[in-house]
A and B are shown apart, each in its own frame.
Chain A
Amino acid sequence: GDSVTQMEGPVTLSEEAFLTINCTYTATGYPSLFWYVQYPGEGLQLLLKATKADDKGSNKGFEATYRKETTSFHLEKGSVQVSDSAVYFCALVDTGRRALTFGSGTRLQVQP
């Protein structure tokens, strides 16, 4: 079945540091890929998405590129802020159920 693997956390960075959170997937075909963010005490919000190979999703300074050849969708941000502290989930949607398969989540802590 489909699966998503993302780097374990927590990831601790200083403000203005560069962020990479790795995500790789296993799936049949070419699913849409997503990054969701969960701020403390809140539900999940869509951060960005990509629906086909070589697409780049971007939002709030975050970017991720759909790499078919490496089955990856790594999340990057050039300069993190304290307000980016949250848990980040990589996910894909299967074409049948249209349900999301999630990675285990990566907690990001940004220190001032």
Chain B
Amino acid sequence: DADVTQTPRNRITKTGKRIMLECSQTKGHDRMYWYRQDPGLGLRLIYYSFDVKDINKGEISDGYSVSRQAQAKFSLSLESAIPNQTALYFCATSGPGQGGEQFFGPGTRLTVL
């Protein structure tokens, strides 16, 4: 079984709809991250969390919110989706003593029409 899972894997929605992307991990890591990948731009940080009570904005948090329901779960929400939020979204985790290495989920491809 995968250590970091994301649901759904693909989603097509319409402008203005609320969308939630979910991430779960079995690695026991405290740190979790949400990134967005756009062609030619690499991955950019949306939000990150060091534990259940610690949520922080990344470089491109506008239009997004997150919830850390438990150590193992970190959800990303788009309250009112817009077309320029069409992208590939990745969840990642990291733990102590990893030298900063992060472990990525398989990604969610989101299309906003």
Instruction: Mark the stretch among B13-21, B41-49, B71-79 that contacts chain A.
Output: B41-49
Instruction: Mark the stretch among A12-20, A42-50, A71-79 that contacts chain B.
Output: A42-50
Q: Which of A31, A36, A45, A100 has the most CB of B within 10 A?
A: A100
Partner of A104, one of B33, B41, B102, B106: B41
Q: Are A104 and B40 in contact (CB under 8 A)?
A: yes
A2-44 interface bits toward B, Cβ cutoff 8 Å, 1 = contact, 0 = none: 0010000000000000000000000000011010100000111
Partner of A43, one of B40, B44, B106: B106
Tell yes or no: B24 within 8 A of A by CB. no
The B interface, classified by DSSP as helix, strand, loop or mixed, is strand
Q: Tell me, in angstroms, the Cα distance from A97 to B42 when the chains sit together.
A: 18
B47-78 interface bits toward A, Cβ cutoff 8 Å, 1 = contact, 0 = none: 01010000010100000000000000000000
Chain B, residue nearest A33 (CB): B100
* Number of A interface residues in the complex (CB < 8 A): 23
Q: Are A51 and B99 in contact (CB under 8 A)?
A: yes
Q: Are A100 and B58 in contact (CB under 8 A)?
A: no
Q: Which residues of B contact A42 (CB under 8 A)?
A: 106-107
Q: Tell me, in angstroms, the Cα distance from A44 to B50 when the chains sit together.
A: 21
Q: Tell me, in angstroms, the Cα distance from A23 to B93 when the chains sit together.
A: 24
Q: Are A99 and B33 in contact (CB under 8 A)?
A: yes
Partner of A45, one of B40, B43, B104: B104
Q: Are B42 and A102 in contact (CB under 8 A)?
A: yes
B 98-113 contacts with A by CB, 8 A: 99-107
Q: Are B104 and A103 in contact (CB under 8 A)?
A: no
Tell yes or no: B25 within 8 A of A by CB. no
Q: Tell me, in angstroms, the Cα distance from A103 to B43 when the chains sit together.
A: 8
Q: Which residues of A contact B90 (CB under 8 A)?
A: 43-44
Q: Return 30 A-B CB contacts under 8 Å, by A number.
A: A31-B100, A36-B104, A42-B107, A43-B104, A43-B105, A44-B43, A44-B90, A46-B101, A46-B102, A46-B103, A51-B99, A89-B43, A93-B102, A97-B45, A97-B58, A98-B31, A98-B48, A98-B50, A98-B94, A98-B100, A99-B58, A100-B33, A100-B45, A100-B92, A100-B102, A101-B45, A102-B42, A104-B41, A104-B42, A105-B42
